[in-house]
Structure 1
Amino acid sequence: MSTGDVMSQIDENTRHATKMAKKKAARDKIMAKKEGEKGLIIVHTGPGKGKSSSGFGMILRCIAHEMPCAVVQFIKGAWQTGERTLIEANFGDLCQFYAMGEGFTWETQDKERDIAAAAKGWEKAKELIRDPKIRMVLLDEINIALRYDYLDIDEVVAFLREEKPPMTHVVLTGRNAKEPLIEIADLVTEMTLVKHPFRSGIKGQKGVEF
């Protein structure tokens, strides 16, 4: 490498270090103002894959920090998922797991049964959220139950606004989240579908879908 090339590389490294130092100073200034903590209402929605997976990732973080948490599954209760197997077998002391659904509505083909299952799941969810010892409650696929009006969106929103303990996090997953829920949420992420193997004839697989 020529002397000119060496000097050019040094200049580039210096510019990069200066740029990153300015970014760090700006970031540190912003973070210094962020002191508050609160229990968050978190919504994962959208047509893309990863809504439940992200919710379970948060549950595993809670477990790693030895924070009591709970899961209520509203739709996939009939499935023996990897998350459920892992949590029940290894972390039952920290995470309560309730599979309340009986499968997607086109599988049961019984609206009254679906409504009853959703109502039972919501009663359990309220019980868990009210417990101040539980730091996070994942309501997996509750947005599906809300979408089909198996649960009253106004009741769910009112409960979260008025009865959720101040430091409890509640994560609600499922596509087509209703606007009143989005309005009261502190964090909303919409998963965007770009490509999915199902469209190419690939069925759901262990380790990816369940």
Structure 2
Amino acid sequence: MKNGMIHVYTGNGKGKTTAAFGVVLRSILSNKEVFVAQFVKNRDSSELSISNYFDNIDIVQYGEGFFIRRSPETKDINAAKKALADVKEKIISQKYDLIVMDEINIAIKFNLLTAEEVLDAINSNGKTEIILTGRWADEKIIERADLVTEMKEIKHYYSKGVLSRKGIDK
């Protein structure tokens, strides 16, 4: 069997996690097993309820709070390392057909993890399709990927004061 591909969805535009969940939906509707690790998120979001409807998806949020406007703390680093260890274990197990590492690029950018640690995890891959999301994808991650899509913001309603809306943005 062909090895799973590595996808990267990055850039400053909206839609990275949304694109990943499009693939998630396709996968679960094709009876594939899916694992989603959300590396820096720990808030309620509509996608979390997908496991209420499908048995073939597991979603775990590992984030310890929104640190982008503060310096990451030890708890943030420990949470990211736990998430990566869990993901690596799941990759090696080959139980899952698709693994999403949501906001992993943010975790690298803010030094919770190194690109080398992430590459070590994804290079342990066999048949699993892996998606890495988040702004600021590291060049080493981009080089390793089979597919890279950059979301470019042209215009966003947030700049007009419209906050995240349930079912659309969260």
Report TM bin, short chain.
over 0.9
Contact 2:84 / 2:121 at 8 angstroms: preserved in 1? Answer: no
Q: Structure 1 residues 64, 164: closer, same or farther in 2, change over 3 A?
A: same
Quick one: distance in 2 between partners of 1:200 and 1:102?
A: 29
For 1:96, what is the secondary structure of its paired residue? Answer: strand
For normalisation by structure 1, the TM-score amounts to 0.77
Tell me the distance in 2 between the aligned counterparts of 1:186 and 1:43. 8
CA distance in 1, matches of 2:96, 2:72: 33
Establish whether residue 173 from structure 1 lines up as the match of residue 138 from structure 2. no
Pairwise mapping of residues 58-97 of structure 1 onto structure 2 (< 5 A)? Answer: 58-76=23-41, 78-85=42-49, 87-91=50-54, 93-97=55-59
Aligned pair 1:135/2:97, yes or no? Answer: yes
Q: CA offsets, 1:120-156, max 9 Å, x none?
A: 1111111111121210000000110011110021121
Give the structure, 1 or 2, with the largest relative contact order (CA under 8 Å, sep 6 or more). Answer: 2
Aligned structure 1 segments of 4 or more residues deviating by more than 2 angstroms: 106-110
How many percent of aligned residue pairs carry the same amino acid? 38
On the 8 A contact 1:108/1:114 being kept in 2, the answer is: no
Mapped partners of 1:179, 1:169: distance in 2? 20
Larger radius of gyration: 1
Equivalent in the alignment of 2:18: 53
TM-score of the aligned structures, taking structure 2 as reference length: 0.94
Decide whether the 8 Å contact of 1:102 with 1:108 is kept in 2. Answer: no
Higher helix share: 1
Q: Which residue of 2 aligns with 1:158?
A: 120
CA contact (8 A) 2:9 2:150 kept: yes
Q: Is the partner of 1:105 in helix, strand or coil?
A: coil
Q: Which moved more, 1:102-111 or 1:60-69?
A: 102-111
Task: Determine helix, strand or coil for the equivalent of 2:148.
Answer: strand
Residue among 144, 158, 163 paired with 1:203 = 163
Q: CA deviation at 1:38?
A: 3.3
Residue identity in the other structure for 1:164: N
Structure 2 CA distance for aligned equivalents of residues 84 and 201 of structure 1: 25
RMSD between aligned alpha carbons?
1.6
Q: Name stretches of at least 5 consecutive residues in structure 1 with no aligned partner.
A: 1-35
Equivalent pairs counted in the alignment come to 170
Residue number among 146, 155, 167 corresponding to 1:186 in the alignment: 146
1:149 corresponds to 2:111: yes
